[in-house]
Amino acid sequence: GAVVSQHPSRVICKSGTSVKIECRSLDFQATTMFWYRQFPKQSLMLMATSNEGSKATYEQGVEKDKFLINHASLTLSTLTVTSAHPEDSSFYICSARASRAEHQPQHFGDGTRLSIL
């Protein structure tokens, strides 16, 4: 149980392109989803917290207009990197947790490796 699917797994595109990454909880309803960014050989950096039906909460230093997050249903959150540039190249990982009632662990997707040329 607790499977999180992230798509696509890899994206290579030209500078200026907008890229959408999907994060789906396959066998549970995710009240909260998280988006992380990870640079090579570094830890995960939380970008934003997304609750279903409400606006995402962004961490300090993360541009809201650059990284658009939509959590339209209890099983789907999307991250759109708008007008991506080479410095946006990174590994993006989403996670989801099932319930606010208990301190459930976050379950992670497989990540999306984004390369902007």
Partner 1 sequence: AQKVTQAQTEISVVEKEDVTLDCVYETRDTTYYLFWYKQPPSGELVFLIRRNSFDEQNEISGRYSWNFQKSTSSFNFTITASQVVDSAVYFCALSEAPGTYKYIFGTGTRLKVLA
Q: Where does this chain bind partner 1 (CB under 8 A)?
A: 2, 32, 34, 41-44, 46, 49, 57, 91, 93, 95, 97, 100, 103, 105-111, 113
Cβ nearer to partner 1, comparing 19 with 30: 30
Q: How far apart are CA 2 and CA 58, in angstroms?
A: 25
3-class SS letters over 36-75 = EEECCCCCEEEEEEEECCCCCEECCCCCCCCEEEEEEECC
C-beta of 113: minimal distance to partner 1 in Å? 7
Strand residues in 52-88 grouped as ranges (E): 57-58, 67-73, 76-81
C-beta of 103: minimal distance to partner 1 in Å? 5
The total of other beta-carbon atoms located within 10 Å of residue 109's CB is 25
Cβ nearer to partner 1, comparing 17 with 38: 38
Cβ nearer to partner 1, comparing 9 with 15: 9
C-beta of 100: minimal distance to partner 1 in Å? 8
